[in-house]
Amino acid sequence: MTERSRLFEPVKLGDLELPNRVLMAPLTRNRALDDGTPARMAETYYSQRAAAGLIVTEATQISAMGKGYIKTPGIYDGKHVAAWRNITDAVHAAGGRIFVQLWHVGRISHTSLLPEGRNPVSSTDKAADASTYTENGFEPVSKPDALTEEGIRETIADYVTAAKAAKEAGFDGIEVHAANGYLLEQFLMDGVNDRTDAYGGSVENRMRILEEVLDAVSEVWPANRIGVRLSPLGQFNGVSDSDPATNYGYVVERLDKRGLGYLHMVEQAPGAETDATQADIMKRLRAKWSGFYIVNGGYDGDTAAKAVAEGHADAVAFGRPFIANPDLPQRLRSNAPLNEGDGSTYYGGGAEGYIDYPFLESGVPENVA
């Protein structure tokens, strides 16, 4: 077994000092108000988890058009900012650090979730083979309209609005969600993007919107406070790419030139086994990144420590284990048993399964620096 202590060596992420390499992955929990204001109890939820080296919030829509599920939070108006400010204050008071994940779902939405019943937008006008949660339960997503170039410009402006709101709300940084089948991945992946303009065709063109989003939010945040999340092997939400090694090789090389805070790689979907070919692709992509590298997907304490010890990753983001174990770093450090998560309360509901998972000893989060 690799020494678990490798996970508890402090590390610099840009100018931020992380006390450990056990990070909290973004986790959709569907407990926000209908207008996108995070619930009050999110202050408790996030501050309970402040021992994470870094918290990345649940995916948070940058605009009303960026929403794709019921009860997800937003970060684009004053009400959102005020509620998030209370959350970031609570996390900071508990000794933590927190980035907000900026999200636009693209075509993974439903007309009933969008302003004036509008169609979702995407790189394409073809509907995804996917479903989402609406007021009527789990429903197939609606057919999107392909964004016009003007629509792309408006969307980028929405990212800037959200990036500014994130600053006002007291976040330590932002993560641009370009993974898991949502808008930016709908552009990146050649199995979805069927455009013939400057935003489709070559991988250079397909990543243009991501580059423009990053250029735009870099006017608001220093590059080292901006992370990007990718899922090159992802097939979630109806996406596919014919050659992730080559296409994402290009994407990672280009992103590496920006001096970003980090690259956050979703290496595998929950429950999916990565085969040798896929593991090899992820290794090759990793080798193209010179900055801070976060991995996510199916790690436990031992495999995470090994990834850090071998230099595969600087830090490991844990998702489900952090839902059920607010003191996950302490538990991994002491090899303590983990609480089991209750899948029926992952998405939606109240305090149960959200802020009532027990700590090891006391209810007081303690930093593991």
Q: What residue spans of the chain are helical by DSSP H?
A: 41-48, 78-93, 149-168, 183-188, 203-206, 208-217, 244-256, 276-287, 301-309, 320-324, 328-334
Which lies closer to ligand 8OZ via its Cβ, residue 74 or residue 301?
Answer: 74
List C-alpha distances in Å: 212 to 76, 77, 176, 179, 217.
19, 22, 12, 16, 9
Go through 192-212 and write b for each residue having 16 or more CB atoms within 10 A of its CB, e for each that does not: bbebeeebbeebebbbbbbeb
d(CA 233, CA 181): 11
Count CB atoms within 10 A of the CB of residue 280: 12
Cα separation, 70 vs 109, in Å, equals 10
Within positions 271 to 290, which residues make up the interface with ligand 8OZ, using CB under 6 A?
A: none
- Shorter beta-carbon distance to ligand 8OZ: residue 112 or 334: 112
Helix or strand or coil: residue 316? strand
Among 45, 69, 171, 199, which residue sits at the site for ligand 8OZ (rule: CB under 6 A)? 69
All residues at 6 or more sequence positions from 284 whose CB lies less than 8 Å from its CB, including other chains:
245, 249
Minimum CB separation of residue 30 from ligand 8OZ in Å reads 8
Question: Is 250 one of the catalytic residues?
Answer: no
Q: Would you count residue 180 as binding ligand 8OZ (CB under 6 A)?
A: yes
Q: Answer yes or no whether residue 59 interacts with ligand 8OZ by CB under 6 A.
A: yes
User: Between residues 59 and 121, which has the closer beta carbon with respect to ligand 8OZ?
Assistant: 59
CB of 28 to ligand 8OZ, least distance (A): 4
Q: How distant is the alpha carbon of residue 293 from its chain centre?
A: 14
Sites for ligand 8OZ among residues 74-113 (CB under 6 A): none
The residue among 69 and 357 lying less far from ligand 8OZ, judged by its C-beta, is 69
Is 186 a binder of ligand 8OZ (CB under 6 A)? Answer: no
Instruction: List Cα–Cα distances, 351 to 29, 69, 288, in angstroms.
Output: 11, 19, 42
- CB of 73 vs ligand 8OZ, minimal distance in Å: 11
Q: Which is nearer to ligand 8OZ, 59 or 210 (CB)?
A: 59
Q: How far is the CB of 326 from ligand 8OZ (least distance, A)?
A: 20
Residue 182 CB, shortest distance to ligand 8OZ, in Å, is 7
Residue among 69, 182, 346, 357 flagged as catalytic: 182
For the record, the structure tokens of 215 come out as 């250029």
Q: Exposed e or buried b for every residue in 35-52, given b needs 16+ CB within 10 A? A: ebbbbeebbbbbbbbbbb
Residue pair 130/140 in contact by the 8 Å Cβ criterion = yes
The nearest distance, CB 104 to ligand 8OZ, in angstroms, is 11
- Give me the least distance between CB of 199 and ligand 8OZ, in Å please: 22
CA–CA separation, 89 and 244 (whole Å)? 40
Q: Which CB sits closer to ligand 8OZ, 180 or 325?
A: 180
Start-to-end CA span in the chain (Å): 22
Closer CB to ligand 8OZ, residue 48 or residue 180?
Answer: 180
Nearest alpha carbon to residue 162 among 176, 152, 151, 149:
176
Q: Which of 20, 28, 63, 330 binds ligand 8OZ (CB under 6 A)?
A: 28
Residues binding ligand 8OZ: number (CB under 6 A): 4
Binding site for ligand 8OZ (CB under 6 A): 28, 59, 69, 180
Catalytic residues: 182
